[in-house]
Amino acid sequence: MRSMKTRQAIYPLIILSFLAGLFACSSLNQVNPTPSPIPSTPAPSSTPAPPTLTPTSTPSDCLTKPGKLEQGKIDVTNPAQEYLIYLPPCYDELTDSRYPVLYLLHGQTYIDDQWIRLGAVDIADKLILSGEAPPFIIVFPDDRYWNLPPGPGFGVRLITYLIPYIDQNYRTLTDRKYRALGGLSRGGGWTIRLGFENWQMFGSLGLHSPVVFANDGQYLERWLNAIPKESFPRLWIDIGDADAELSVTRNLEYILTQLSLPHEFHFYQGAHTEQYWSAHVEEYIKWYVEGWKESAAP
């Protein structure tokens, strides 16, 4: 288990309004582009309370503390799929509450702590403890085998094993509208492939300086056309003006526009660097949170 540094929290009395329910750059030529199987998501062990905007009674001491970061792995895969998970403030105290969950995929040559170093956990604490966001869980899956034989199997490990495992062992809201997937660089490439192939599993997809994997470009339109327009996930794309992947990302955005599929495209100054991503992490997290707010609105 890895502990997070305790920080002074700032929060209003309505802090937990939602507590009741609520690719970088290598190609994967060897990866079979056939869609990954979609597992049936295990049902929660108990019926989750519906999302609500009504403040609820919360143990006061946990309101002043940040969330916690834990390390885990599942051994049924080879290699074992490791992950880090952020659990929000009061997770241990509010044992009947269930939470939206965000899966954030890191870039090539990095490991599961990249998003944490870039500030994702600090920002989650700040938004939750200030009342700007409902409490939510973040999962950081590890993709460290990108250049080794197990690398191409990451997609199967994530979709078929890790997500069901998280839903079985943590108090998540399992409806797709409360599950988001995002990634930077190589992680954005995985988000394109896994998010479009398995659209039934995700309400929001975030592509941050994405890399379209080799051979995947020819399948983009097929994947996109297979998604019912009324069920198309919320989609965010951003990239810097000095990013080597700019032309490929612009082509993806062009295809989405030609197909009249809703999406946000953000064009910023910057390159394919951690400096660029760290400057926008808070904006990313807030965008994912907005999707859960919209889902809970009457």
What is the tens place of the pLDDT at every residue in 261-272?
999 999 999 999
- Beta carbons of 143 and 69 less than 8 angstroms apart: no
pLDDT at 229 over 50: yes
- 204-208 and 179-184 strand pairing: parallel
Where helices occur in the chain by DSSP H, the ranges are 114-117, 120-129, 154-156, 163-169, 186-197, 220-225, 246-258, 274-296
pLDDT at 61: 83
pLDDT of residue 43: 38
Q: What percent of the chain has pLDDT over 70?
A: 79
- Span 31-47, mean pLDDT? 38
- pLDDT of 295 reads 75
What is the pLDDT at residue 38?
35
Q: For the chain, which domains are there?
A: 60-296 (3.40.50.1820)
Mean pLDDT of the chain: 85
Cβ atoms of 71 and 2 within 8 Å: the answer is yes
Model confidence at 44: pLDDT above 90: no
Residue 260 Ramachandran class (φ > 0 left, ψ -120 to 50 alpha, else beta): left
